[in-house]
Amino acid sequence: MTVDNLATILLLAASAGGLLLIPFGLPGLWLIVLGIFGSGWLTHFRSLTPGFVALAVGLALLGELVEAWIGFRFARRYGGSSRAGWGALLGGLVGAVVGVPVPLVGSVIGGFAGAFAGAALFEYTRARHSNTAARAGWGAVLGRAAAVAVKMGLGVAMMVAALFAALRG
């Protein structure tokens, strides 16, 4: 097995693993970045150049920023305050961690349920209207789903571009 083949296998494994992690609220984009870096390093950055690695890091950062922004935006769009946005973010993180013991889907369900509960609770403590709080919670759930979709799209784009560059070089 050549070093180029090993680098491509590493890239494929890291990319596939990263894409599987994203819906669970785990750092899948960063695993893809590590795969790109590792593959580049193994091949002395011939095809996956330092510039390409920097682009991948930039896309991963963009994914994280978009995730936070979308959660806030959807919670607000559905009638919540910025406080509901913070509740969605914190609740989603706590829910994902609490759901980990349930195999495969626990952290996904926990993340969505936590985002709803966090946004609704934070909004209810501000507005004291259960209707507004429930709408903000629903917005947080939709925001979390949209954020996962955006991050999956970025992950697929990173993977395809890296594989194309690696196999071409």
Chain segment 90-118, per-residue pLDDT in tens: 888 788 788 767 776 777 788 888 888 88
pLDDT in tens, 63-90: 988 887 887 788 778 887 778 888 888 8
Domain that holds residue 81: 3-168
If one counts the domains in the chain, the total is 1
**pLDDT value for 100:** 67
pTM of the model: 0.82
C-alpha closest to that of 143 among 93, 95, 65, 74: 74
